[in-house]
Amino acid sequence: MALCGTTATNVTKMMAAYNGGSSAVAAHHPHHHHHQLQHLPPPHMHHHHHQQQQQHTHHLQQQLDIEPDRPIGYGAFGVVWSVTDPRDGKRVALKKMPNVFQNLVSCKRVFRELKMLCFFKHENVLSALDILQPPHIDYFEEIYVVTELMQSDLHKIIVSPQPLSSDHAKVFLYQILRGLKYLHSAGILHRDIKPGNLLVNSNCVLKICDFGLARVEESDESRHMTQEVVTQYYRAPEILMGSRHYSNSIDIWSVGCIFAELLGRRILFQAQSPIQQLDLITDLLGTPSMEAMRTACEGARAHILRGPHKQPSLPVLYTLSSQATHEAVHLLCRMLVFDPSKRISAKDALAHPYLDEGRLRYHTCMCKCCYTTSSGRVYTSDFEPVTNAKFDDGFEKNLSSVRQVKEIIHQFILEQQKGSRVPLCINPQSAAFKSFISSTVAQPSEMPPSPLVWE
Ligand SMILES: [Zn+2]
């Protein structure tokens, strides 16, 4: 996995730009040992594209068929295939959202995810490049979304034998937090941050994906929120303890677990059950105070109080690996805080000195927000941008029947396509179409396990 090079002098220069908050041009370009970056696989030009014209009720429209190629599964809901965009020969990912219109709950979930994918505009958050042209509403059963194609994900990388340097850990963590700061600024909780949902390309650019469980934060503390969230190993203690209300800090807990996993290359809290999961957490952090457990349900609190009083054993984090420096462990301990209200935010975590080098590397040779001129690198004025407007989920309130949501989604997709590009559709004649169309949702084992019901 190629990482581009940076130097210490560069850090100082860039931090000057960062602290100044305005764009700056690096005076010289210091000696870069620029590794040759791997590029995406070449476009498959041999695909023949049936160009066809379709008679629509109101207008003639040119459409290009897209042919599925091979499955590249990621995501809790839906299947992802790699395809070639016939308009430019570029390789992209095609996500099928199946069984959308089975019931109102799945309709709403899919519509929310679709709206989010169209809303996102951030380098570290996966977004929709396109949505395939839907058929007539009577035949409209599935939704296909085109996104950027990513070669791997953090889970595959962590379990692979390829070496992961501390530079890798820093640039990955930087990008996770950069994406999360953006999502949280939009008022969105991801709720299933795990290594498999962090896509990585061969240049080590990282994008947060899978918004199947994401939702808008709930400011009213009396409102109950579902506990069907977060793969167990990355699940925050307040969720494990049956808290009925939680905030975006549940995502930060997950990032802390992933940070430790990047350093140690093994899952930090790998328990067999939700109760054991909580026990492993208290083994490390010690018995929480009553204050830290104030949102927990009675049964969970009783479980903690019944058990032995535990002292924190945080120094054990230094044994994760030689990369677990004071700075790394300091930041890690700010994320792995039992009390969600005392856990660091994505914004504050990004200000931690551990991430300075990751920021520099990212903006020196990986980002799209800065650029290089003959006189040096021109840095963006805002290294970690937020959204201008919050994601508005008000549209969900008036959704009351499957048929109605189907019509609204159909209309929404058609509106997204009022661009200059020729609309795409699936080619039902293609050889791969059969297996593509029959591929369904993730196996139950890939779904987040249901939460424990405390007595
Ligand atoms: Zn940049």
Report how far residue 454's alpha carbon sits from residue 345's, in angstroms, rounded to the nearest whole number. 29
Catalytic residue, from 65, 192, 210, 251: name it.
192
Query: Side-chain half-sphere of 207: how many Cα atoms within 13 Å?
Result: 26
Name the average pLDDT for the chain: 82
* pLDDT over 60 (residue 402): yes
Q: Which residues of 291-309 are buried (b: 16+ CB within 10 A; e: fewer)?
A: ebbebbbeebbebbeeeee
Q: Is the pTM of this model over 0.85?
A: no
C-alpha neighbours within 13 Å on the C-beta side of residue 197: 29
Q: Quick one: average pLDDT of 215-237?
A: 79
Ligand 1 centroid to residue 383 C-alpha, Å: 6
Mean pLDDT of all residues in 30-52: 30
Residue 95 annotated as binding site: yes
Name the pLDDT band for 223 (thresholds 50, 70, 90): confident
| DSSP string over 240-269 | HTT-S---THHHHHHHHHHHHHHHHSS-SS
Quick check: 80 pLDDT over 70? yes
57 CA distance to ligand 1 middle (Å): 46
Q: Is the per-residue pLDDT at 9 higher than 70?
A: no
* Residue 22 CA, ligand 1 centroid: distance in Å: 12
Cα angle for residues 320, 326, 332 (degrees, 5° grid): 60
Residues 6+ apart with CB under 8 A from 16: 24
Task: Work out whether strand 376-378 and strand 371-373 pair parallel, antiparallel, or are unpaired.
Answer: antiparallel
Q: What is the pLDDT of residue 416?
A: 87
**Per-residue pLDDT at 238:** 95
Cβ within 8 Å of residue 105, ≥6 positions away: none
Residue pair 122/417 in contact (Cβ under 8 Å)? The answer is no
pLDDT range class, residue 15, cuts 50, 70, 90: very low
Q: What's the one-letter identity of residue 415? A: E
Given a contact cutoff of 8 angstroms between Cβ atoms, the answer to whether 269 and 277 are in contact is yes
Query: What is the largest distance, in Å, between two alpha-carbon atoms of the chain?
Result: 73
Predicted confidence at residue 276, as pLDDT, reads 94
Residue 425, strand partner residues: 65
Helix orientation angle between 8-20 and 356-365, rounded to the nearest 10 degrees: 90
28 or 166, which is more confident: 166
Rounded to the nearest angstrom, the distance between the alpha carbon of 367 and the centre of ligand 1 is 5
Could you tell me if 82 and 149 are in contact, meaning their C-beta atoms sit under 8 angstroms apart?
yes
Torsion of CA 160, 162, 167, 171, to 10 degrees: -40
Let me know if 362 is exposed, middle or buried by CB neighbors in 10 A (0-12, 13-18, 19+).
Answer: buried
| Alpha carbons 344 and 355: distance in angstroms, whole number | 14
State the pLDDT at residue 58.
37
Q: Which residue has the higher pLDDT, 21 or 168?
A: 168
- Could you tell me the distance, in angstroms and rounded to a whole number, from the CA of residue 20 to the centre of ligand 1? 15
User: Structural domains in the chain?
Assistant: 56-149+397-443 (3.30.200.20), 153-378 (1.10.510.10)
Q: Please check the confidence at residue 347 and state whether its pLDDT lies above 80.
A: yes
Q: Bridge partners of 61?
A: 54
Please determine, for residue 41, whether its predicted confidence score (pLDDT) is greater than 70: no
Whether 30 shows a pLDDT value over 50: the answer reads: no
Q: How far apart are CA 73 and CA 98, in angstroms?
A: 14
Ligand 1 centroid to residue 381 C-alpha, Å? 9
pLDDT tens per residue across span 101-149: 988 988 998 999 999 999 999 999 999 999 998 889 998 988 999 999 9
| Residue 192 annotated among the catalytic residues of the structure | yes
Greater confidence (38 vs 185) lies with: 185
Tell me which residues have their CB within 5 A of the ion that is ligand 1. 363, 367, 369-370, 380
State pLDDT tens for residues 412-453: 999 987 766 788 887 767 666 666 666 554 443 344 444 455
Q: What is the pLDDT of residues 200-220, one digit of tens each?
A: 998 999 999 988 888 888 877
User: Pick the residue with more confidence: 448 or 46?
Assistant: 448
Cα 368 to averaged position of ligand 1 atoms, centre (Å): 6
- The DSSP element (H or E) to which 200 belongs, if any, is strand 198-200
